[in-house]
Amino acid sequence: MSDDPVAVFYQQHPYPPPPSSLDGYQATWRDPVRRRAEFHLLFPGRAYCEDLDVLIAGCGTSQAVRHAMRWPQGRVVGIDVSAASLQSTRELAHRYNVGNLDIHELPIERVHELESEFDLIVSTGVLHHLADPETGLLALRSVLRHNGAAHLMIYARYGRIGVEMFQQYARLLGIGASRAEIIDLANTLAAIPEDHPIVPLLRSSSDFGHPDALADALLNPRERSYPVPELLAALDATGFSFRRWYRQAPYLPWCGAVAQSPHAVKLQHLSPRNQYAAMELFRGSMVRHSLIAHRGDEDRPHEPFGSRWEQAVPIRLPETVIIEERLPPGAAAVLINRSHSYRDLVLPISNAEKRVVMAIDGRRTVAETLAVSDLPNDRGRALYRRMWWYDQVVFDPNPLPTDC
């Protein structure tokens, strides 16, 4: 085993705490519409296919098994530096009879040793623990296939200030990660003043309830966090091209309460990158950035509202719901995405717009859904644009031939 302090740490504290069951997860991802929605989010402009080579880089205890269940026609490879986490992965794969998964004890920095390329690379909660995250990004990009996609999650800076304060506090006191020290830490957290910046995180995160998860959050030997501009600069420096935030509405000045504020117009005139940076500062409590990046040498960057947009098939994202109670004045319904943590990310729609939304069934094209209502074309386009901003829909660029 590597003597890197992060590897030693995750050997002692495998993360996340291994799940007792993946039955619910497996059942959820049997839904073909969910898989299509995920595919078109990751690979906009590509025709649907499930025959993917997937790398889970820093897979922890269960993520590689989850993705092998998610893409049963694909081939999934999980790598990690923690043998204990890989053992848990192996046990889960055996229990669920998952046959499309290979795992290797291998650091991201040496991923080229697999001698493989991947359509999809998922690395969540890992790169910010590396001695040099940019070396990790370069290594991942080198095994990403042309037209492939990377789904990366990296700690955000400002929303984690309370955590960083407590990490510094633990370092000052020389607190290690033994069971007894973790229990003392948990009990000390119970005495923390209620206006400490860590308190909202303690309330909203299940992570603090389990000793290994508490250690992961507060006693990790090495981690860094990124404000938006530093994160985008790291992608630029390693040849990745930023495509979108995995859930984008919180980063967009067209969405939520800020769009009605006196600064709306100023914000909307900024460049997209400055909008994201401003929205991170405005929202103040983002704890992680989850994004999709491509290799940066694609054939054609995809524009969802290009010339063929009416022939595309809209697919609603799985966490979206239509609410028809306690509506704002004039609205026939509101659309929300339950994965958003910000309560202002609510999209009101009219009766005519509601008919369009109800017509989205994963088969009809945009044009066919617009035909069910009397919305003029420009209002139909505006509706779809708003649904796109608010993480309500993705588009299958039907009827392209399959890419597989």
Ligand X SMILES: C[S@@+](CC[C@H](N)C(=O)[O-])C[C@H]1O[C@@H](n2cnc3c(N)ncnc32)[C@H](O)[C@@H]1O
Contact residues for ligand X, defined by CB under 6 A:
6, 10, 15-16, 58-60, 63, 79-82, 85, 107-109, 124-126, 129-130, 216
Helix (H) or strand (E) holding 153: strand 144-155
Tokens 């290797």 sit on residue: 104
CA distance 320 to 36: 15
Sequence length of the chain is 404
Provide the minimum distance between the beta carbon of 108 and ligand X in the complex, in angstroms, as a whole number: 4
Smallest distance, ligand X to C-beta of residue 122, A: 8
Spatial contact of 103 and 79, defined as CB atoms under 8 Å apart: yes
Please, which residue, 18 or 253, has the CB nearer to ligand X?
A: 18
Nearer to ligand X, 59 or 346 (CB): 59
Query: Buried (b) or exposed (e) across 332-367, using 16+ Cβ within 10 A?
Result: bbbbbbeebeeeebbbbbbebbbbbbeebeeebbbe
Q: How far is the CB of 128 from ligand X (least distance, A)?
A: 9
Instruction: Return the number of other C-beta atoms located less than 10 Å from residue 71's C-beta.
Output: 21
Selection from 124, 170, 140 nearest residue 290 by Cα: 124
Task: Tokens for 140, please give them.
Answer: 């991942």
Whichever of 133 and 304 has its CB closer to ligand X, that residue is 133
Q: Three-state DSSP class for 197?
A: coil
Residue closer to ligand X by CB (options 4, 298) is 4
Distance CA 9, CA 231 (A): 25
Find the residue with minimal CB distance to ligand X.
60
Which one, of 133, 137, 153, 14, lies nearest residue 81 by Cα? 14
Between 86 and 345, CB nearer to ligand X: 86
- Residue nearer to ligand X on the CB measure, 8 or 400: 8
Minimum CB separation of residue 222 from ligand X in Å reads 9
Measured from the CB atom, the residue of 216 and 353 that comes closer to ligand X is 216
Q: Which is nearer to ligand X, 44 or 125 (CB)?
A: 125
Q: In angstroms, give the least distance from the CB of 130 to ligand X.
A: 5
> Which is nearer to ligand X, 130 or 335 (by Cβ)?
130
Question: Closest approach of Cβ 125 to ligand X, in Å?
Answer: 4
Which residues, listed in sequence order, are joined to residue 392 by a DSSP beta bridge? none
Task: For residue 297, count other CB atoms closer than 10 A to its CB.
Answer: 10
Least Å distance, CB 74 to ligand X, is 18
Q: In this structure, how many other beta carbons lie within 10 angstroms of the beta carbon of residue 64?
A: 31
Question: In the bound complex, what is the minimum distance in angstroms from residue 9's beta carbon to ligand X?
Answer: 8
Q: How far is the CB of 127 from ligand X (least distance, A)?
A: 8
* Sequence-separated (6 or more) residues with CB below 8 Å from residue 160: 201, 225, 287
Helix (H) / strand (E) element for 291: namely strand 288-294
Instruction: Determine phi and psi for 338, rounding to 5 degrees.
Output: -65, -10
